[in-house]
Amino acid sequence: MQTNKTRTVLLSTLVVGLLLAGGLTYAFMAGRSEDGLISGEEFAPDQLNEGGLDDIATLSLPDAQKRLNFLIADTRDSLNALNRLSSLTLKITPVKATPVDQVAVVPAYDELIKPFTGKDVEAALAALAPGAVDFRQVIDVPGSVAKWNTQALDAIWKQAAAASNESVERYRFKRVYFRDGSEQDYSAVQARAQADDEETGYYSSDAELNTAKPIDKVSVEVSYKSYPGYHKVVLDKDHPQVTVGSERYRLTSLQDNAAALMISTPRADSFAVQGLDESGKRLRSSSSNSSTLPSDEEMASLRKLYDALLKVKANFSQYRDSQSLQDELQKLAVSLQPAAGSLKNIQAEYRYDDTPARVEIVVYDPVQVSKTELMLSNRVPVQDIYIAHDQKTDLVGFVDASGAWKIKPTFIGIDYLDIASVYRVVTGKRSINDEVSEILVKYYYLQPGTLNFKVLPFEGIEEQINDDLMLVQRNTNGPYGIYSMKKQAFTVPMKFVNAKVQDNIMVARLGDKTYEAKPTYGAFTLDGKEILPPRFGGVRQYEGFLYTTSADDKRHDLYDLSGNKINPAGFDVLGDFAAGQPLLIQNSKTRAFAFIDQQGKSLPFKLPYDEVQPFSNGMAVVRKGERYGAIDMQGALSVPLNYLSIRPFQARLAAAVPEEGFDGLVLIDKHNQLVKKLGGYNTYSVSANNNDAQYSIYDPEKEGRILVYDADGQQINSYEIETDSSSEGDSDEAEQATDAVRAE
């Protein structure tokens, strides 16, 4: 008998209600044994009265007997469902080789589970760099706020909670140490109760304080959970069942990109499951589901209940009315109430991108609570005065180490910078129109040992280059220069725009307005020495060289960082010195190609081609007439001129359109070996000296579907596009797209 009705009160009392999910889950597995199932009297529908215990007394005695029949049949069905689960036979789907004319779908992978135990947490805490965990005090007279930075700790807690994904840490602040040398218990300066747990005082939010005194450090007690240890269990087709002490682990299915398990572990333990391929890599799990089943003790009680129900039926004539039957059954429910048991039984299924070769179960010991103490520092540096907001006036000034005003609050806003003694100060607002206003900003320098502020001669800091130098801007859309804090002077005057600093060299163009485009780019050292005069249409710095474009955009030259020209006279530069590969150049008159090394010396091989492309991953695509090939770093034609087009080589392969033999894109290696036929072409994305190419190919099996492949020919995505199979226009468009590929 099978029923989808809600379980009876009697059975749910015995935790059999959990069987409903289990009974539905086991049905997906084809292999199960019928041995050990309980047989018994089968009841016709007119012999059953579905329901629970509470209303038996309201039934006539014949209907109460039918209710007893239902309880017997339902209990037997539940026991047999559990017996089927416990006797599932392992089902394996053989791995089939991918046909040559089909593309194998490459599964995605995740990092292997690496258990992070309590000892690992202790080691990680001990290895924290000084200042890795700190806070920033924002003084808001008469109080302040401590904004905690616990990112370094958060990474540790995340690893420690890998099995349960629960929050595992709490903080309790204990002692506060001030910049004036005094100290107090944290409770004395806490503005109000903020603890997540008022009884223990632990919390994790920013702290509001009732003091404006600058804080130096705060001692913190951290309570955290971790796993003291773990063990691993590996299941595969040859070892589908493993017992560890009282624990039981059984693999019941390994097929159709899924693994199904029956697990009995201690109730306090946590576990994590990963599916591994033949090489030991962890397959990405797409979904999972699990059901908690009755414990062994609950199963035993359920069987006792079944036997007791049979005895009640055998002695049914002794019950004078339905009330006495209800009383007896309720006594049975109470007397057979089982203990939870030491083990928990779980049935689980995990789905992956591919069928695993084996399953690894990481079983963690019960969590333990540990404590540690940390000293957190205020990341605002020690200084003579500190920025403070005044709640009364809503203005900003400075206080000293005791929290007393040293510079009255007269500014709209002040910000700390990474540069010592330099502050960004909001001095006011300027109305542009009825709806828009501009914030007026100045930068102030506090002269050491004084309360004297100097207004710095710029309104914007584009970049802090080092402890001394800054790339600064006079005003919005105005010119840039380089300012030295030590010298309190410009090392590069403010007469450049579009400035970029890299490797202690500034590339910029002359001008005083950023929106004026003039071909006057040059290169300069940070102390103002001219490397290249500002007369170029463009200057680009890349991997230790300067690449220039003439003002008329007709010449492209190469210079070293001292301003020495590298490419030979009469030759134009094509491409870059990328990844140590030679640089492609072309004679401006004869149009002949050549490659040079970083000293400007031509490589000793000829290039009798109509077109040569720069090297990409050790190969350069060449063309003669309408046919393409590719040469290696020695100039040898490794890929013959047999292609209608070739894209830049990636780490291993390049996409090409063959002259004959296949209509569409193929992938070839650096020795012209055909690696994979991709097919009809839609779009592509390819960059040189990389391995990030993507090719979008029409699915030959399904119209309107696009398959996306990576640089190594592995399918990484797919999507649908709108099509009209009856439209000749679409057919013409597809043909034109193919022609465009061939033309390339």
> What's the pLDDT tens digit per position in 612-634?
999 999 999 999 999 999 999 99
CB 267 within 8 A of CB 340: yes
Task: Give the pLDDT score at 81.
Answer: 77
Give 317 or 87, the one with higher predicted confidence. 317
pLDDT(268) > 80: no
Residue 177 contacts by C-beta under 8 Å, 6 or more apart in sequence? 183, 215, 216, 217, 218, 219
Report whether pLDDT(253) > 60. Answer: yes
Q: Is the pLDDT score of 729 beyond 50?
A: no
What is the distance, to the nearest Å, from the Cα of residue 589 to the centroid of all Cα atoms in its chain?
Answer: 53
Alpha helix (H) ranges present in 240-356? 296-314, 322-335
pLDDT at 136: 94
**Cα separation of 351 and 562, whole Å?**
60
**pLDDT value of position 373:** 93
**What element of type H or E holds 78?**
helix 61-86
pLDDT at 669 over 60: yes
513-519: average pLDDT: 82
* Residue 264 banded pLDDT, cuts 50, 70, 90: confident
Lowest mean pLDDT among 260-264, 275-279, 300-304: 300-304
pLDDT at 88: 56
Q: Is residue 195 scored above 80 in pLDDT?
A: no
Least confident of 48-52, 148-152, 290-294, 375-379: 290-294
pTM for this predicted structure: 0.63
Q: Which pLDDT belongs to residue 197?
A: 45
Higher pLDDT, 200 or 443: 443
CA-CA distance, 399 to 211, in Å (whole number)?
12
pLDDT for 569: 95
Task: Given CATH 2.60.40, say whether it is the number of domain 118-226.
Answer: yes
Burial 665-697 (b: 16+ CB within 10 A, else e): bbbbebeeeeebbbbbbbebebebbbeebebbb
- What is the C-alpha end-to-end distance of the chain, expressed in Å? 70
pLDDT band for position 407 (cuts 50, 70, 90): very high
Say what the alpha-carbon torsion angle 30, 35, 39, 45 is, to the nearest 10 degrees.
0
Using 50, 70 and 90 to split pLDDT, how confident is the model at 434?
A: confident
Q: Are 215 and 179 in contact (CB under 8 A)?
A: yes
Residue 487 dihedral angles phi and psi, to the nearest 5°: -85, -15
Longest alpha-carbon distance in the chain: 119
Written in H, E and C, the secondary structure of 361-387 is EEEECCCEEEEEEEEEEECCCCCCCEE
Model confidence band, residue 107 (pLDDT cutoffs 50, 70, 90): confident
What's the one-letter identity of residue 117?
Answer: T
Extents of the domains making up the chain: 9-90+296-339, 118-226, 230-294+345-366, 611-743
Helix 151-160 with 118-126: angle, nearest 10 deg: 160
Report residue 305's pLDDT band, with 50, 70 and 90 as the boundaries: confident
> What is residue 737's predicted lDDT score, i.e. its pLDDT?
39
Per-residue model confidence as pLDDT tens digits over 341-391: 678 888 899 999 899 999 999 999 988 999 999 999 999 999 989 999 999
Query: Band of the pLDDT at 30, cuts 50, 70, 90?
Result: very low
Q: What is the pLDDT of residue 232?
A: 94
- pLDDT at 87 (0 to 100): 61
Band the pLDDT of 6: cuts 50, 70, 90: very low
Which of the pair, 241 or 92, is modelled with greater confidence? 241
pLDDT at 9 over 50: no
